A and B are shown apart, each in its own frame.
Chain A
Amino acid sequence: MSRTRVLMLNWLVPVAAVVAWEGFGRAGILPQYLATPSLIVGALWEVAQTGELALALGVSLYRVALGFVMGTVTGVLAGLGAGLMPGLRNFFDPIVAFLFSVPKIAFLPVFLLLFGLGHASTISIIAFSGFFPVFVACRHSIMSVNPVLIWTARNMGTPPRTVFFRVIIPAAAPQLFAGIRIGLAHAFVVLFAAELIGSKAGIGVLISYGEEWARYDLMFAGIACFAFLGFMSDRILIAVRRRVLRGHIIGTEEQGVR
């Protein structure tokens, strides 16, 4: 198959969907809640000019970034501890095994009461939810480092510190990044739910305003922003990983990334 044909096929479905959406919307066939793409772009422009968009984006980005960083740092630290020390592993394993499949958003009422409706409750629940995938990935990646590598390094008289930084960490890094990536995805899901359920600012609120006032173009504009934010942060994480893991061959071909 030629390159142009592949490219054409790649773009066929998305472009056809948007064209059909716009066309059917103008013809009045679609239900009212499906605002056409041109209207959505108009709404985006509108909120961008009033400054609402920048504010909402700023608030959401601030929350998700801080929560994600907090969850990742604690997850990595606890995961390192659990991977290296059996005592800590025995402490964390049962708790994580139980809480892993519980939707962390279920704790939202508790966090809301603890930290109020503002930033703190959203940030802390994002961190709480991001902790688990990062912890599990970190713990498993440390445990699955080939012991031969560690023995070899020790045999050559490498001090423990160097073994840790030059052998264990690089060997565990690809799997760790996979966990961090899942944590990032969780962060956005929790952000959205937390902003819809208990918050007064951010993109989630933009979406629910659009819903309440039947401004469907505004609702879609919020959805588009949210999707864009999630997509771009994932891309940034992938770019960072490519930088950090330069030269790694095994384990960098992660699923779902091109």
Chain B
Amino acid sequence: MIAKARALLVRWYSIPLLLLVWLVSVEGGLTESRLLPSPLRVWAVLVEDVGNGTLVYHAYVTITRALTGFVLAAVVGIPFAALMARSATWRNLFEPIFFLGYPIPKIALYPIFVYAFGIGAPSKIAFTFLECLYPIVVTCYFGFRAIQTRLIWTAQNFGASRITVLRRVVLPSALPSVFSGLRVALPISIIVVVITEMIGDSIGLGYYIEVSGIRFTFENVYAAIVVIGVCGFLLDRLLMLFRRRIVYWQKGESPLRA
């Protein structure tokens, strides 16, 4: 019991320590409290705005947009990657677009999305879709290509139909890569939605942060950051839960990916 508490303390001491330093330096008047509001004020604002639903509403807007774009990208990207991996024509047609386009900062295209889809949710969702599509397609593509051909041969030898080979051989062996692609794309979806909301919108957490910054109420900025952090963490856990359910034969969980 004591050993367990000790281990927990050693592992997590830095967050309470930082909070304490923050609290002491603000309350002690060492820093400008307007710039760095005391954690107690942040907590108070957090409780208040979660309680009256403001932050819940904005978080709901942001997360809905992020997840819509993310799910669309997964639904389109995974079959597309499979197609690219299994057909030479498709591969030659689209490989340059994905591999040369990968390092291009796609955020620069956001103004065009605003013209094409308007300033509201559709442009954000469409842009999130694009940003998530790249990591998903590229990672899944490698997963589908890395399948050992002898597994497919064996299945075919046993008289498996194309559909059975796809469902029972190709898909299961590519699933771990599919999940790592999804795991890279998930935080990207949240980041992209918040950025685009900061650039221009009237709802969502990005807007909340931008407006609080302009009003110099930095406790609200920090409160929103806490909300984003918690949402990102929970969504990642949820994805890992799915992964453990679906890829049940692979026990070791991949570490926090960059």
Residues of A whose CB lies within 8 Å of any CB of B are 1, 5-6, 9-14, 31, 33-34, 90-95, 97-103, 105-110, 112-114, 133, 136-137, 140, 178-179, 182, 185, 188-189, 192-193, 196-197, 207-208, 211, 219, 222-223, 226-227, 230-231, 234-235, 255-258
Contacts and interface: CB of A to CB of B under 8 A. Distances in A.
Given A102-B232, A114-B35, A223-B111, A109 B89 contact: no
B109 A223 contact: yes
B191 A105 contact: yes
A90 to B, nearest CB: 6
Contacts of A33: 112, 115-116
Contact of B111 (A9, A207, A234): A207
Interface stretch (B70-78, B168-176, B210-218): B210-218
Interface of B: 10-15, 18, 35, 88-89, 92-97, 99-100, 102-105, 107-112, 115-116, 138-139, 142, 187, 190-191, 194-195, 198-199, 205-206, 209-210, 212-214, 216, 218, 221, 224-225, 228-229, 232-233, 236, 255-258
A95 B18 contact: yes
Contacts of A189: 105, 107, 191, 195
B104 A227 contact: yes
A176 to B, nearest CB: 10
Given A193-B195, A207-B108, 15 more contacts: A9-B92, A13-B94, A31-B115, A94-B12, A94-B15, A103-B190, A105-B198, A107-B221, A136-B256, A188-B105, A223-B111, A223-B112, A230-B103, A235-B103, A258-B99
A178 B258 contact: yes
A108 B236 contact: no
Given A103-B190, A207-B111, A255-B142, A231 B199 contact: no
Contacts of B255: 140
B258 A179 contact: yes
Contacts, number: 166
Contacts of A222: 108
A219 B95 CA distance: 28
A13 B115 contact: no
A135 B116 CA distance: 38
A94 B15 CA distance: 7
A212 to B, nearest CB: 11
A193 B198 contact: yes
B130 to A, nearest CB: 13
Contact of B105 (A34, A107, A208, A227): A227
Given A6-B92, A90-B14, A97 B210 contact: no
A222 B102 CA distance: 19
A99 B15 CA distance: 11
Nearest to B36: A110
23 contacts: A11-B96, A12-B93, A34-B112, A90-B13, A101-B229, A101-B233, A105-B195, A106-B225, A108-B198, A108-B209, A110-B35, A110-B213, A136-B258, A137-B258, A140-B255, A178-B258, A193-B195, A193-B198, A223-B108, A234-B103, A235-B103, A255-B139, A256-B103
Interface SS, B side: helix
Contacts of B100: 231
Interface SS, A side: helix
A109 B139 CA distance: 34
A86 B258 CA distance: 20
Contacts of B96: 10-11, 13-14
A91 B111 CA distance: 40
Contacts of B110: 192
A192 B107 contact: yes
Nearest to B96: A10
A95 B104 CA distance: 30
Nearest to B93: A9
A219 B110 CA distance: 11
Given A102-B228, A106-B225, A227-B108, A91 B191 contact: no
B233 A98 contact: yes
B15 A90 contact: no
Contacts of A226: 105, 108
Contacts of A113: 35, 213, 216, 218
A5 to B, nearest CB: 8
Nearest to A101: B232
A95 B115 CA distance: 39
Contacts of B256: 97, 100, 136, 140
Contacts of A12: 93
A62 B13 CA distance: 38
A94 B8 CA distance: 11
Contact of A106 (B14, B103, B221): B221
B235 to A, nearest CB: 8
